[in-house]
Amino acid sequence: MKKRIIVSLFFVVGITSILLILSIFKLYTEAEKVQRSIFVNEVLTAGDEIVNKIDALIQNDTLSNESIDSTDNSLPDTTAVVSVQHARRFLLDTVTFQPIGIIQTVVFVKENNSRVMENDTTYFSDTYRKMFPLNNDPWSPKNAKSPSSFVVSDLDANLVQIDSSTLQLLSPEYLSRLIKACLAEENIDARFDFALYNAFTTDFAIMPQFTDEETMLQSEYVFRLKYNEKVASPNYIILYFPTERGIFLQRMSTIVGLIICLLIICFTISFVALYSLYRQKKVSEVTNEFVNNMTHEFKTPISTISLACEALSDPTLHSDATMREAYIKIIQDENDRLKDMVNNILQIAQLKKGQVKMDVELLDMHELIHKVTDSVALQISSTNGSLNLALNADTYKIFGDRHHLENVIINLVENGIKYSTDKPEILINTQSDKKNFMLSVTDKGIGIPKKALASIFENFYRVPKGNVHNVKGYGLGLGYVKKIISLHHGHIEVQSEEGKGSTFVVYLPLKSTK
């Protein structure tokens, strides 16, 4: 597959992924807006319920009219007084229900448990009354610092503050329980903070528990307490949710989970598709190289056989039996070579399909190594090379397939011969421990580049050297070696440095592989 096609596919998949992410993000934001709207409505409903319950609590605690209203303007008898209690309530306009003044009551409790009350009525100034038009409250926590067009007297400010008895009634502990219960009725189970804020005096009657004042004043969940005989100025219950977005995520956990799964699936599919294309490209390149190498390898024996047949057809050779037999021998050798090539390719195909039958028996590996050295002795001598043995293993009998293990050793030795630029120097060494028999084949050839070490055991792979065929083979040897070693439950390692040679170490278990 051409490089520009791969790049184009990468670009298309990338653009598609970006568009998909944007679409999913838009879907998430829309879902978050819906959840936010639902949440706000639930908090508003809970806030109204909180205000109603606070109003009911305050009104139930107000002194009865019979207790406070007294027409006796004489000074009360304060003898034998045990304790003194203070109370106050606001006078409300009967038409507008706005506070117009305040009645302050002092209750004297005597020893006989009788009570004497003294009332003092104070009316608010005109300035204060003008600041409270009906149903048009000019204050809100968000503009608490805005300058007022009215000048509020200290007397008015002091009078309209919630008294201590009411604040004791509206304790932080009580409000926390009340708010939590009202939120729970709306299925809101989240961490929250609250405060009670007097917009007239711009002071917090009840401070926030853990949130700073500036942040609290920016909250959008603000609920004004109802005016009554105890509340004559705009007091607000302010709610704040520090993990508001987390609440939305929790409520959308199913949608978020589906979105995450969808993203993972999309990215996985994209990665697999692109990786498959990349692998296909690599396989195509390796296969083409294999075909080129194999064609070259097949061409040599075919050309030799063709030339030998042409020579045998020469009538002058009919009388020369020696030459005729020599040519026939060449044909037989090259035919055997072709047969071995085909068998190697078929063998790799069978290994890939798992169809190779292992004929396991107890083997003497030192004996097998000597047999291999005898078979490659001619190749070594023809190149004026050397093959040395260092058979140091104490335990060298293992269970394995004689034929395949012999081919493994031959492949490793022949690779050492083929990839030596000068006289090959091959060393076969054996070691053993309690678990494994180790066989190493070392050469002083051209070595393997580090970047190619991870790929040398792949089928058809050959270290890139350009279009050069000075080394025979088509990249099946090491792939075959690794597969056979794996079938024997062992493994193979390689150490190589370019220009200095390579060492292949085979680890075979001493226990039976049956």
Sequential DSSP letters for 143-211: GTTSPPSSPPPHHHHHHTSPPHHHHHHT-HHHHHHHHHHHHHHTT-----EEEEEETTTTEEEE--SSS
Rounded to whole angstroms, the Cα distance separating 278 from 255 reads 34
How does pLDDT run across 35-64, given as a tens digit for each residue? Answer: 889 999 999 999 999 999 998 888 775 544
Token pair in block for residue 131: 């600041």
Please state which of the ranges 104-113, 195-204, 346-355, 479-488 shows the lowest mean pLDDT: 346-355
Q: What is the DSSP letter of 493?
A: E
Q: Are 106 and 201 in contact (CB under 8 A)?
A: no
Strands 235-240 and 203-206: unpaired
pLDDT the model gives residue 145: 47
User: How much of the chain, in percent, has pLDDT values that exceed 70?
Assistant: 77
Please check the confidence at residue 164 and state whether its pLDDT lies above 80: no
Please check the confidence at residue 18 and state whether its pLDDT lies above 90: no
Please check the confidence at residue 214 and state whether its pLDDT lies above 80: yes
The yes/no answer on whether domain 357-509 falls in CATH 3.40.50.170 is no
Rounded to whole angstroms, the Cα distance separating 28 from 136 reads 39
How does pLDDT run across 133-142, given as a tens digit for each residue? Answer: 444 454 555 5
Rounded to whole angstroms, the Cα distance separating 505 from 514 reads 23
pTM of the entire predicted model: 0.47
Please state which of the ranges 102-111, 210-219, 412-421, 472-481 shows the lowest mean pLDDT: 472-481
pLDDT the model gives residue 70: 43
Rounded to whole angstroms, the Cα distance separating 15 from 10 reads 9
**At a CB cut-off of 8 Å and minimum separation 6, what does 398 contact?**
362, 363, 365, 437, 508, 509, 510
pLDDT the model gives residue 490: 93
Domain residue ranges of the chain, discontinuous segments joined by +? 35-247, 279-353, 357-509
62 or 396, higher pLDDT: 396
Q: What is the DSSP letter of 76?
A: P
Rounded to whole angstroms, the Cα distance separating 291 from 437 reads 37
How does pLDDT run across 25-40, given as a tens digit for each residue? Answer: 887 888 888 888 999 9
pLDDT the model gives residue 65: 40
Please state which of the ranges 145-159, 298-312, 429-443 shows the lowest mean pLDDT: 145-159
Q: Are 396 and 439 in contact (CB under 8 A)?
A: no
pLDDT the model gives residue 377: 82
The yes/no answer on whether domain 279-353 falls in CATH 1.10.287.130 is yes
